[in-house]
Amino acid sequence: MTIEYLKTSKPAIERADDDAKTRAAVETTLSDIEKRGDAAVRELSQKFDQYSPESFRLTHAEIEALIAELTPQELADIKFAQEQVIKFAKAQRASMQDVEVETMPGVILGHKNIPVQSVGCYVPGGKFPMVASAHMSVATAKVAGVPRIVACTPPWQGKPNPAVIAAMHLGGAHEIYVLGGIQAVGAMALGTQSIEPVHMLVGPGNAFVAEAKRQLFGRVGIDLFAGPTETMVIADETVDGELCATDLLGQAEHGYNSPAVLLTNSRKLAEDTMAEIERLLTILPTADTARASWENYGEVIVCDSYDEMLTVADDIASEHVQVMTDRDDWFLEHMTCYGALFLGARTNVANGDKVIGTNHTLPTKKAGRYTGGLWVGKFLKTHSYQRVLTDEAATMIGAYGSRLCMLEGFVGHAEQCNVRVRRYGGVDVPYGEGAAAS
């Protein structure tokens, strides 16, 4: 097995130092929000966004005025993208069925899928107004039936971004706040004097937002660890360097710390791609950001075989995986650790980010090893229930339960079973003993 790295990223120890600094800053900030509530939130908004309105929550009139700033085409495009997300979310919701089954005579077991009762949706927007993130979180929560949907987004160029607010409103948000960063997720999770806390936080964000969600997990639910964007291109000589370079830089422009990895079995394609990246960085308007990500977090890996490429890809577990090979379906069949797959040269990650309908809030930092991305099911809790309908069933299952509780030493548990064996079966079970086998 030969794996050659033509370009490597920032050493892991340096990334760990960055993470430690982020952790400390977030912990301090969340503590301040918990102690001082609205006052802390306002100070943070003024400090980081230079934004301190009379109220962070938008009124209906303010929302309508912002939507009116959009052109008819902009509004139509937002609605089209949202329709695609909703259509796929409804199909996913239809796949989740409540269950009730009689497992033995008189014993009924079941489960119900119940919406989370309140959700806080974070929509990034300080550097780029992430209109599509509103569809992915707000609209999907609405399909799930969440009764209270709170949405937060930072100001953009000193005021609410009309397109983001339109997407939030059309998606079904009940409360919209112009708040960004740690102060937004902290306020939604912890609550303040003016914001009632939610039960769950969802949505992508920068390293500070992602870390805040991680620290708040337990106090509230979270969708997943969705930190800085990651992308991987798996390619062979069926495509060229321009296509690979374009797809890598298209995601690297998200931020200064967005990993971008080319994984190939062609050294020629690897070298062509690196040359194309340098060429494109001279003309890409967002080159300053994309170059920082590429220089510090970019990797080019050359393998001998497709099997090696598969092994490396599953180990990295990248958020976005663009597959452009002569065997795309083989990768679909065999890959196990990733956020989402983009199969073939005709599609791309930007389609998934903005319009095609699959959700773009996806696991990062290897979280694809144990979770998929945000989807309608994340907003639903599956709760089980049981019912015993007959005296005979209560007696029979109770006797088994009694003996199994005593096997573990739980006498109080056993008596929960025994009292029912006595009452519904007429069997005299001595107190604190297991029921006899019939």
Of residues 276, 269, 308, 312, the one with CA closest to residue 294? 276
- Tell me: do 316 and 413 sit in the same domain: no
Rounded Cα distance, 126 and 109, in Å: 49
Contact 378, 202 (CB under 8 A): yes
Report the domain count for the chain.
3
Q: What is the pLDDT of residues 172-200, one digit of tens each?
A: 999 999 999 999 999 999 999 999 999 99
Q: What is the pLDDT of residue 340?
A: 97
Q: Is 427 helix (H, G, I), strand (E, B) or coil?
A: coil
Q: What is the pLDDT of residues 291-313, one digit of tens each?
A: 999 999 999 999 999 999 999 99
Instruction: Report the amino acid identity of residue 413.
Output: H
Which of 222, 247, 277 is where one domain is finished? 222
Q: What is the pLDDT of residue 16?
A: 74
Q: What is the pLDDT of residues 132-168, one digit of tens each?
A: 999 999 999 999 999 999 999 999 999 999 999 999 9
- Tell me: do 199 and 279 sit in the same domain: no
Rounded Cα distance, 234 and 305, in Å: 12
**DSSP per position, 18-57:** HHHHHHHHHHHHHHHHHHHTHHHHHHHHHHHH----S-SB
Rounded Cα distance, 10 and 8, in Å: 7
> Is the pLDDT confidence value at 1 over 70?
no
Q: What is the pLDDT of residues 273-289, one digit of tens each?
A: 999 999 999 999 999 99
Would 119 be classed as within a structural domain? Answer: yes
Q: What is the pLDDT of residue 255?
A: 84
Per annotation, catalytic residue among 230, 320, 360, 415: 320
Q: How many residues does the chain have?
A: 438
Rounded Cα distance, 52 and 98, in Å: 46
CA distances (Å), origin 41, targets 38, 49, 195, 437: 5, 11, 11, 64
Q: What is the pLDDT of residue 262?
A: 98
- Tell me: do 266 and 208 sit in the same domain: no
Between residues 255 and 92, the one the model is more confident about:
92
Element (H, E) at 79: helix 72-94
Q: Is 360 helix (H, G, I), strand (E, B) or coil?
A: coil
Residue 393 pLDDT level (bands cut at 50, 70, 90): very high
Which of 175, 199, 222 is where one domain is finished? 222
- Tell me: do 135 and 234 sit in the same domain: no
- Tell me: do 65 and 129 sit in the same domain: yes
Would 10 be classed as within a structural domain? Answer: no
CA distances (Å), origin 181, targets 29, 72, 137, 155, 186: 11, 31, 16, 11, 9
Q: In this structure, what are the phi and psi dihedrals at residue 249, rounded to the nearest 5 degrees?
A: -70, -30
Would 383 be classed as within a structural domain? Answer: no
- Tell me: do 24 and 172 sit in the same domain: yes
Q: In this structure, what are the phi and psi dihedrals at residue 58, rounded to the nearest 5 degrees?
A: -80, 140
Rounded Cα distance, 9 and 292, in Å: 11
Write down the pTM of the prediction: 0.92
CA distances (Å), origin 120, targets 93, 188, 222: 20, 6, 9
- Tell me: do 217 and 255 sit in the same domain: no
Would 382 be classed as within a structural domain? Answer: no
Would 75 be classed as within a structural domain? Answer: yes
Annotated catalytic residue 413: no
> Is the pLDDT confidence value at 204 over 70?
yes
Annotated catalytic residue 196: no
Q: What is the pLDDT of residues 354-385, one digit of tens each?
A: 999 999 999 999 999 999 999 999 999 999 99
Residue 225 pLDDT level (bands cut at 50, 70, 90): confident
Q: What is the pLDDT of residue 18?
A: 78
Would 7 be classed as within a structural domain? Answer: no
- Tell me: do 130 and 169 sit in the same domain: yes
Q: What angle do CA 121, 122, 125 make, to 5 degrees?
A: 140
Q: What is the pLDDT of residues 111-129, one digit of tens each?
A: 999 999 999 999 998 778 9
Q: What is the pLDDT of residues 309-347, one digit of tens each?
A: 999 999 999 999 999 999 999 999 999 999 999 999 999
pLDDT cut 90: percent of the chain above it: 92
Intra-chain end-to-end CA distance of the chain, in Å: 62
Provide the sign of the torsion angle of the four alpha carbons 267, 300, 353, 218, taken in this order: positive
Per annotation, catalytic residue among 175, 253, 319, 415: 319
Q: Can you give the residue range of the structural domain that contains 255?
A: 226-372
Average pLDDT along the chain = 96
Strand 107-115 versus strand 3-7 pairing type: unpaired
Would 381 be classed as within a structural domain? Answer: no
Rounded Cα distance, 2 and 303, in Å: 6
CA distances (Å), origin 133, targets 188, 206, 258: 17, 13, 17
- Tell me: do 216 and 237 sit in the same domain: no
Q: What is the pLDDT of residue 11?
A: 82
Rounded Cα distance, 242 and 279, in Å: 10
Tell me, what CATH number does 250's domain have? 3.40.50.1980
Rounded Cα distance, 77 and 319, in Å: 26
- Tell me: do 64 and 207 sit in the same domain: yes
Which of 173, 192, 222 is where one domain is finished? 222
- Tell me: do 230 and 251 sit in the same domain: yes
Burial class (CB in 10 A: 0-12, 13-18, 19+), 430: exposed
Q: What is the pLDDT of residues 236-270, one digit of tens each?
A: 999 999 999 999 999 999 888 999 999 999 999 99
**Mean pLDDT confidence for 215-237:** 93
Would 427 be classed as within a structural domain? Answer: yes
- Tell me: do 192 and 252 sit in the same domain: no
